[in-house]
Amino acid sequence: MYRFSGLLCRRDDRHPCTGCNGGRNHMTPASEHPSVRPGRRGMITWFVDHPVAANLFMACIFVFGLLSAMTIRKEFFPEVKTGWVMIEIEYPDASPQLIEKQVVLPVESALTGVNGINQTVSHAFEGLALLEIKPEPGFAISELTSRIRTRINEINTFPSAIKNKRVFESLIKDEVAWVILSGDMDDESMKALARKLRDDMVADPDISLVQIDGIKSSIISIEVSPFILEKYDITLDDISRAIQESSLEVPAGILKSTHQDILIRAGSQASALSEFEDILLFSHEGTPVYLKDIATVRRTTRDNFFFRFNGKPCVGLQVFRIGKQDFLTVSEAMTRFVEQKQQELPQGISITQAVEGSPILKSTLKVMVKNLVIGGILVFILLSAFLRPRVAFWVMIGIPFSFLGAIWLMTLPMFNISLNIITLFGFILVIGIIVDDAIVVGESIYQAGLEGHDGPSAAVKGTLKVLVPVTFGVLTTMAAFSPMLGMKGVEGKIFFQMGIVVILTLAFSLVESKLILPRHLSHGNISPGQGRIARSMTWMAQRIYRPVLEKSLAYRYLTLSLFAAVLITFTGLMAYEHIKIVFMPDVETGVISARLKMTGGTTSEELLKATQQIEQAARAVNHHDPGIPGGSGRAHASQPPIRHYLSFNTSQTEALAYAELVPASQRSLSSVELARMWRERTGTLPGAMTLEFTGTESDTGAPISFILKGKDLSRLKQAAEELKQELLQYQGVSEIADTFIPGKDELKIKARPSSWFSNISIADIAYKIRSAFHGIETQSLLTGQEDVKVVVQLPEACRKTAGTLDNLTIKSGNGRRILFRQMAHMETGKGYAHILHKDGQTFIEVSADVDKSRQNPQKIMDHISHTFLPGLLERYPDLTHDLGGEAKESRQSKKSMIKGFAYALLGIFALMAIPLSSYAQPFIIMTAIPFGIIGAVIGHVVMGLDLSIWSGMGVIALSGVVVNDSLVMTDFINQQKKKSTDLYHAVSQAGVARFRPIMLTTITTFSGLLPMLFEKSFEAQFLKPMSVSLGFGIVFATLITLFLVPCLYMAGSDITTVYLNLRRKKAC
């Protein structure tokens, strides 16, 4: 390809062209430009010479990226849940102690040695054993499930009353919203309507999982009084057998006639109450006795559950996002469904969409996109001010190119990353960084043009001049973000996605700045003209920076001493905790919750009453904080902060309440503040063991958490009580609780010696009592979609008094009836409602919330660990302790972060040593890192923020960015050193030459983060520490690059000179 190469046309410097009419007609091959020697064409030259290839490459990335952006999965937070293997084993009416002894311990023993198990957490509830098994990282959960199922099936010591052994993989799902169904309708009709709506909803291809809550399971209760049993000398077992023999249908063969085959069925399965009542049981003194003659047959419920919406009973359909479904897609499908059904439902029945996650997601995505766009506009304005508009435009094109390229790869199966608040913040974080290499390349091409090279030649020469330092500079930035890929814990899974996004974006920016940008900047000649602002930057470099730099170099050891003093001062402030440090800042949420645990033995009426008090407190919050006045322009006048509230019980002693908030832009208080206010308005609840309010999206556990382990649960409880009393001494600590829940009062039955003489075993006694109080499940009827149990039992009034036990009779082997009190006696005691094991050890977790504006949770835990726990463990030598909740996550994350930071520093050192061909110069460059940290700390102080794990990750990212400019600076000093014998002159010349691009990269990086630094929305506050670390750190590190690095370079040369002189003297 030939191009017009300038006013004086030459085929090369030695052979002027004689046939081109003064350069007007001759075209020279790009390979013959003075800057490009034959044999060294390479990719850069090829792309400069082939504009179609460059444009097609860019167009493909734009198309792939835009298509991916339309289909990428959207969610609020990255998916941090992992699959677990779950084991559920039912043992009806068994106490938690019995469940632990006869179910949990045998299962834990059977699982010993199973390969692939990372952690086992066991729960013994009343009537249920639940085990959660976490697989080893990378182990196939399906294979582990199969191994566990095999081990469970091999256990042959389970009690005969064990039912429904289930081993399954936990489904990773996220709550999208509730669809609330309420109105004037009887329970059975409401139940049928709810099931129909669920079936209609899951028929939508965008909705896969809907769970119905608030409906009670029905039973057909056949109640016979003890008096009737004695009168007819029968037992509940006799009645149960009679029903089973009469109410059934069995195939009786096939009648093969000459015309057709006819199926024969015998019997009749009862389903209606009247059909059960007409069952013939036996004959007494010649008179037939039907079930209706001796029993009351009624349809009732065994569950004591309640489900309430805005203080009224209702039925809820909970919609989930599962697998790789898009959160907003599921939410929009649900909204369409509700709008359609509102027109079709019967009169008086309402359907409402509530407790949604989509508003907070949409609001957050809107905030992040807004910050992204504003940051991009600021970067473009600044680039246009300091560069020529054409250069600024093509430099800016690198931003959407890099973003869309990263989004394209994010959707591929090898990454499978969603668009969420974390990945969007990753784009914001890198928006000012990705133009750095383009700025350096553009400036280098501009300088090559000023030296007299034409467009294509300047593009190739300028790009090649900075190719090595810029490439390795971007690689060092990638290395700085790489620790995010290896962090452990919940936070590690979050940072992983951010790290991937940043690295992918940087990779595309590197490709764009080396292959596409040179092609676009090769059009025409390079104009030496500059704007006023650009000329002012050049003036500053010559008139202000050069004199100060020369003075600093002349008094370099004084300069170094001043920098060292600053470093020591801030290190001291950090060491003595004058700057507040927390692990995890509060994350805004759109739904706040309250979890209530009552003491064992609490009645359903008492639990409902306590829950109603929580509901009343939610209404009181609305009256206290009416929202933001309409004049603010952010909300309607007097809009309450709580839109809906929902409450239901999860067991006989536990309840959960949700309060859905209006969007954050329409209220004056954050979710954390509203949760605190809700707690204050609730006050004291009679019979409540714990009441925990959560107003944050964080999934790291309680800020304060200690785990006490041992074998004796009573001693564990005593130690836990002492620890809770100690926590009460700390200001700002609230919601102090433990996982121990006292169970119901128990009557323990023990056989008397006389029972042996009557041939009655303790098993006979236990079965008789179980039949009387739990009942005998005679049949199971499938009616519609419900499995209805037929239960033969004593009347409810008899089952509520211990006197029934005393008068209960048991048939001996000879058929004689003997009173229960003659065969056994009762002892009263107190049981447990919930027993916890972790990896085979019984434990109790003591947890508490902390007002992070007043106290540092980590500091409290450290103080207790060093001053209180040693004495506690001396008093209870059989116990051990561990950290839990946020503290455990903090410990894991800190270890991962420190380890990752060390690896990042090694990687950065290697990536700088290679292009510099030096072991000493990378150390000079890396001195900028601690000073960048100082800038980050100053930024937190200025912005009034606490240092957190997000601040730490910002510092790690900063370490790669600050060495980037220092690397290019050092490379330029080396180049100038080759041209000049005077090192002082070479260093000052390099500093002046790099002043403009260094200042420009600093300004663009900071301006890209500027919208986030001043973001006021609640949703984005937890991300600000990372923005502050990077934004303020890069500004402070600029001083390091412009002054400290040159001084260190000179000092290093001084040391080398002294060393060589000493060696010469020694040699002489």
**Sorting pLDDT into bands at 50, 70 and 90, what band is 1021?**
confident
Cβ atoms of 509 and 474 within 8 Å: the answer is yes
Please state the separation of Cα 399 from the chain's center in Å: 28
To which H or E segment does residue 489 belong?
A: helix 489-511
Question: Is residue 328 over pLDDT 50?
Answer: yes
pLDDT tens track for 369-412: 887 788 778 878 877 777 777 777 888 888 889 999 999 999 88
- Kindly report the backbone phi and psi dihedral angles of residue 186, in degrees, each rounded to the nearest multiple of 5, phi listed first: -70, 160
Residue found by looking up tokens 């509700």 in the block: 338
- Neighbouring CB atoms inside 10 A of 423's CB total 23
Q: Which of 299-303, 418-422, 935-939, 1053-1057 has the lowest mean pLDDT?
A: 299-303
Which has the closest alpha carbon to 908: 479, 530, 561, 566? 479
Question: Is residue 15 over pLDDT 70?
Answer: no
Which has the closest alpha carbon to 293: 304, 307, 279, 272? 279
d(CA 48, CA 59) in angstroms, rounded, equals 16
pLDDT tens track for 42-58: 788 888 888 888 889 99
- Neighbouring CB atoms inside 10 A of 352's CB total 16
Please state the separation of Cα 136 from the chain's center in Å: 19
- Neighbouring CB atoms inside 10 A of 526's CB total 24
Give the pLDDT score at 66: 92
pLDDT tens track for 161-215: 888 889 988 766 778 888 888 887 887 788 888 888 999 998 998 888 898 888 8
Question: Is residue 6 over pLDDT 50?
Answer: no
Which has the closest alpha carbon to 206: 53, 331, 383? 331
Amino acid in position 443: E
Give the pLDDT score at 508: 93
Cβ atoms of 417 and 358 within 8 Å: the answer is no
Taking residues 707-718, report their average pLDDT: 88
User: Is residue 1061 helix, strand or coil?
Assistant: helix
Beta strands per DSSP E along 558-696: 591-598, 642-649, 654-661, 688-694
Cβ atoms of 13 and 37 within 8 Å: the answer is no
**Angle, alpha carbons 425-431-433 (nearest 5°):** 120
**Angle, alpha carbons 412-413-417 (nearest 5°):** 70
Taking residues 893-897, report their average pLDDT: 73
Amino acid in position 486: G
Give the pLDDT score at 406: 93
Cβ neighbours of residue 176 closer than 8 Å, sequence gap 6 or more: 319, 320, 321, 327, 330, 331, 334, 356, 357, 358
pLDDT, averaged across the chain: 80
pLDDT tens track for 733-780: 887 888 887 766 677 777 777 666 667 777 777 778 888 888 888 888
Cβ neighbours of residue 1061 closer than 8 Å, sequence gap 6 or more: none
Q: What residue segments make up the domains of the chain, in order of their start?
A: 1-32, 33-74+361-524+531-583+891-1064
Most confident stretch, 13-22, 389-398, 466-475, 556-565:
556-565
- Kindly report the backbone phi and psi dihedral angles of residue 882, in degrees, each rounded to the nearest multiple of 5, phi listed first: -150, 170
Cβ atoms of 1019 and 664 within 8 Å: the answer is yes
**Sorting pLDDT into bands at 50, 70 and 90, what band is 723?**
very high
In DSSP terms, 786 is beta-bridged to 783
Cβ neighbours of residue 631 closer than 8 Å, sequence gap 6 or more: 637
Helix, strand and coil content of the chain, in percent to the nearest 5, comes to 55, 20, 25
**Angle, alpha carbons 967-971-976 (nearest 5°):** 145
- Scored b (16 or more CB within 10 A) or e, 709-741 reads bbeebeebeebbeebbebbeebeebbbbbbbbb
Residue found by looking up tokens 């050891």 in the block: 557
Q: What DSSP letter does each residue of 1005-1019 carry, written as one string?
A: HHHHHHHHHT---GG
In DSSP terms, 979 is beta-bridged to none
Q: What DSSP letter does each residue of 440-465 carry, written as one string?
A: HHHHHHHHHHHTT--HHHHHHHHHHH
Question: Is residue 980 over pLDDT 50?
Answer: yes
**Sorting pLDDT into bands at 50, 70 and 90, what band is 982?**
confident
Q: What DSSP letter does each residue of 324-359 carry, written as one string?
A: T--HHHHHHHHHHHHHHHHTTSPTTEEEEEES-SHH
Q: What DSSP letter does each residue of 646-658 carry, written as one string?
A: EEEESSSSEEEEE
Structure tokens at 991: 């500093």
In the chain, the percentage of residues whose pLDDT exceeds 90 is 9
| 348 vs 262 pLDDT, higher one | 348
Question: Is residue 240 over pLDDT 80?
Answer: yes
pTM confidence score: 0.69
Most confident stretch, 6-10, 535-539, 557-561:
557-561
In DSSP terms, 826 is beta-bridged to 749
- Neighbouring CB atoms inside 10 A of 878's CB total 12
**Sorting pLDDT into bands at 50, 70 and 90, what band is 435?**
confident
Specify the CATH number of the domain 33-74+361-524+531-583+891-1064.
1.20.1640.10
pLDDT tens track for 769-820: 888 888 888 888 877 667 788 899 888 888 877 777 777 777 776 677 777 7
The Cα-based distances of 451 to 219, 393, 410 in angstroms read: 93, 23, 42
Measured N-to-C along each axis, helices 983-1013 and 532-540 cross at an angle, to the nearest 10 degrees, of 130
| Sequence-ordered alpha helix ranges (H) in 660-776 | 671-682, 713-727, 754-757, 762-773
d(CA 279, CA 344) in angstroms, rounded, equals 42
